[in-house]
């Protein structure tokens, strides 16, 4: 599986934007970029995913570099509830029977200060 690299930790203040980077220099052409986060004492939850174009949803935005070797998860206005471990994951497209394996790295621990 292609590997991702994320900073171990980041800090932010409440109400400010947060940019969480992810490097994936060995990404293949058909790998999707997924972001999940894990709040304390909970299972991971889906945040956003994309292939080539930038993506927006109600939770966040995903900015993908033109060469796809890096991406950035953007939380537009951090809240205390956004404090979590954020995982950047590449998912291979194995055709019609894609498998559900998610390869989690260590992720980025986001601390949000009031």
Partner 1 sequence: KAGVTQTPRYLIKTRGQQVTLSCSPISGHRSVSWYQQTPGQGLQFLFEYFSETQRNKGNFPGRFSGRQFSNSRSEMNVSTLELGDSALYLCASRTTGASTDTQYFGPGTRLTVL
Residues lying near partner 1 in the complex (CB under 8 A) are found at 30, 32, 36, 42-46, 49, 87, 91-94, 96-107
Q: Which is nearer to partner 1, 21 or 32 (CB)?
A: 32
Q: Which is nearer to partner 1, 76 or 101 (CB)?
A: 101
Dihedral pair phi/psi, residue 82, rounded to 5°:
-80, -5
Nearest distance, CB of residue 51 and partner 1, angstroms: 8
Phi-psi region of 108 (alpha: psi -120 to 50; beta: other; left: phi over 0): beta
Q: Which is nearer to partner 1, 24 or 91 (CB)?
A: 91
Burial class (CB in 10 A: 0-12, 13-18, 19+), 105: middle
Nearest distance, CB of residue 73 and partner 1, angstroms: 16
CB 61 within 8 A of CB 54: yes
Nearest distance, CB of residue 91 and partner 1, angstroms: 5
């Amino acid at each position: 599986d292609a590997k991702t690299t994320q900073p171990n930790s980041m800090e932010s203040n409440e109400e400010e934007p947060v940019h969480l980077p992810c490097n994936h220099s060995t990404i293949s052409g058909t790998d999707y970029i997924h972001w999940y986060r894990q709040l304390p004492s909970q299972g991971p939850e889906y945040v956003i995913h994309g292939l080539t174009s930038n993506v927006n949803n109600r939770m966040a935005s995903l900015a993908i570099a033109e060469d796809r070797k890096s991406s950035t998860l953007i939380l537009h206005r951090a809240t205390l509830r956004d404090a979590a471990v954020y995982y950047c994951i590449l998912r291979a497209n194995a055709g019609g029977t894609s498998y559900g394996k998610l390869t989690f790295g260590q992720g980025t621990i986001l601390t949000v200060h009031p």
